[in-house]
Amino acid sequence: MGTIVRFQLGQLWWTRYALSTLLCLVAIAGVWLGGFALVASVIVVIAVGSALDELIGDEREMTTPPPAFCNANLYLAVPALVVLTAVHMDAVARTDVWRVGALLEITATTALVGYLYALIGATVGHELVHRTKCKVALVSANMLLAFTFNTSFTVFHLAGHHRHVGTLRDPASARRGEIWMAFFVRTVWGQTAMAYRLERARLSRQHRSALSWRNRVLRGQTFSLAIVAAAYALAGLQGMIAFLLAAFIGRVAHELINYVQHYGLVRLNGHRIEERHTWNCRRLVSNALQYNLPRHADHHLHADREFWQLKINSAAPALPYGYQTMAMIALVPPLWRRSIGPRLTEWDRTKASDSERKAIAERGWDALC
């Protein structure tokens, strides 16, 4: 009987990819009901992404999930975030935010919503951006990334990040010794500027102006502006401010994951990308919540693979903890250096090429972590 149960659970284990959708439903209920339900939903979301992730530990290769189930969860992301935002605006509109207790509740609500803008919006948006031949996927990606004012990602990610990852040309690769806040400022500006330059060059080849409506970077901002307008219509000025704060929190959370994914690893210009140029994470819950994004080495080696096709690459350097745990550690630079330092030292010794070690020494990075 035990063998049969384990077999059945193994066959159904692909349902873990519905976890982020379920957490969004928990959050919607918590925001709608407020009070204790809100507190409980915040605790559940945080606990699943960190404590439960570390408790369960690493995953192994499992049964391939049905593509229809996986795609359904991806395309549920847009309506899920629309409902979450509408409930958020309703909570703001019916609350006297100047009362201390109410202000604390709205602050918790906004933080929870912002976190899900990153967990669902940015993660699913990233997956759909890679489906370049599907117009519905690309429109959905723009809508999802609009919740964090990051629609330029649709241009930057493929032509910028995937091309330059790990090099000094990539604004989304955190440099060794670079603290989180410095990275955040550099990467947000750098990604946007590179996306605009790439789009301007594309339009120039077509003999069109960079200020044309065909500019995907500029056009993408209309999605974000539409959400701002909707927030104002639903909940007035305080609703618009609450949405902007949630969007900022979501962008911070997204860039924290960017920081973790490539921190300190070195790749030289003109050298092909290898599995050693990105940090992997094998935590089961991290991979379930973020649609195998933590299998990041295989993603960079095979950018056209859909998330359920990505493999666990044992040759890639591994993070010591799950994605959310590492992101929280990154907020405290001394803890971050203590956590990632030994892994970087090991990478330099066993995985870096001679030319990469030379570059590390020339940059003065060999004493940094």
Q: Give me the average pLDDT of each 10-residue run along the chain (369 residues).
A: 40 82 96 92 91 90 82 96 97 80 88 97 97 94 97 95 96 96 97 96 92 91 96 95 97 97 95 94 94 96 94 91 96 96 95 94 85
**Is the separation of the CB atoms in 76 and 21 below 8 Å?**
yes
pLDDT of residue 97: 66
pLDDT of residue 126: 97
pLDDT of residue 212: 86
Phi-psi region of 291 (alpha: psi -120 to 50; beta: other; left: phi over 0): left
pLDDT of residue 9: 41
pLDDT of residue 5: 36
Helix H segments across 117-215? Answer: 123-129, 135-146, 153-156, 162-164, 180-205
Q: Domain containing 129: what range?
A: 16-59+70-203+227-362
Cβ neighbours around 30 below 10 Å, total = 25
Counting the structural domains of the chain, the total is 1
Query: Is 65 within a domain?
Result: no
Angle, helix 67-75 to helix 77-93, in steps of 10 degrees: 30
Query: Is 368 within a domain?
Result: no
Query: Is 208 within a domain?
Result: no
**Structure token digits, residue 163:** 């091309």
Query: Is 218 within a domain?
Result: no
Sequence-distant (6+) residues with CB within 8 A of 285 are 19, 48, 49, 52, 53, 56, 322
pLDDT of residue 366: 82
Alpha carbon distances (Å) from 117 to 124, 168, 253 = 10, 28, 9
Query: Is 221 within a domain?
Result: no
pLDDT of residue 335: 96
Sequence-distant (6+) residues with CB within 8 A of 105 are 34, 35, 38, 95
